[in-house]
Homo-oligomer: A and B are copies of this chain.
């Protein structure tokens, strides 16, 4: 299988940190989205959604969603488990993943893509163009603050985002929190638990992936 990847943007980093935690190396090809390489026919025929990461399996099937890639790799390489050890742990991880995705990752994306001039007409990922909506950019910024607060409340009661073990919820939350840096939104003073957690997970070697 082959991973279409690029250092810098947040989504592919979720897969790279996940791979580093598993101790895995995959065949990779860089798709430089800063140079709009995702629009080249060579890549757009592989992933018509024009997004990275994308994982092409040996069968030819292409997975275009980070979480689908992560779950597939978890099945193939179960050690160490990153989605939890029991049905209940896995359910808690899945529940948190959606909160991180919708309230965190998508809130930052809402802010970034609706306010940074470079994303003009690219307010959503994918093959179609959407105009920026100024109010939506502002709403995104507001939501980032709530995401930090909510994560801080979770981390007041547990070491990691989905309990007392490091999981894929920590991988994706770290990437979402760091992604907020693109909007110059740093962890606020009133979120000490989030700060403690962020220092800890950022110190893992995988965070450099």
Contact = CB atoms under 8 A, between A and B. Distances in A.
Interface string A128-148: 101001011001000000100
B133 A61 contact: no
Interface stretch (A31-39, A69-77, A181-189, A195-203): A69-77
A96 to B, nearest CB: 9
A9 B106 CA distance: 23
A95 to B, nearest CB: 4
Q: How many identical chains are in the complex? A: 2
Interface stretch (A18-26, A84-92, A171-179): A84-92
B88 A67 contact: no
Contacts of A146: 128
What secondary structure prevails in chain A residues at the interface with B?
helix
Interface in A54-68: 57, 59, 61, 63-65, 67-68
Interface in A90-120: 90-92, 94-95, 98-99, 103
Contact of A72 (B59, B67, B91): B91
B133 A92 contact: no
Q: How large is the interface on A (under 10, 10 to 19, 20 to 34, 35 or more residues)?
A: 20 to 34
A148 B171 CA distance: 33
Contact of A90 (B71, B91, B126): B71
Nearest to A58: B88
A112 to B, nearest CB: 16
B68 A95 contact: yes
Contacts of A139: 130, 133
A18 to B, nearest CB: 14
A99 B48 CA distance: 13
Residue of A68, A92, A128 contacting most chain B CB atoms (<10 Å): A68
A71 B91 contact: yes
Given A130-B139, A133-B133, 5 more contacts: A63-B92, A71-B94, A72-B87, A75-B91, A133-B135
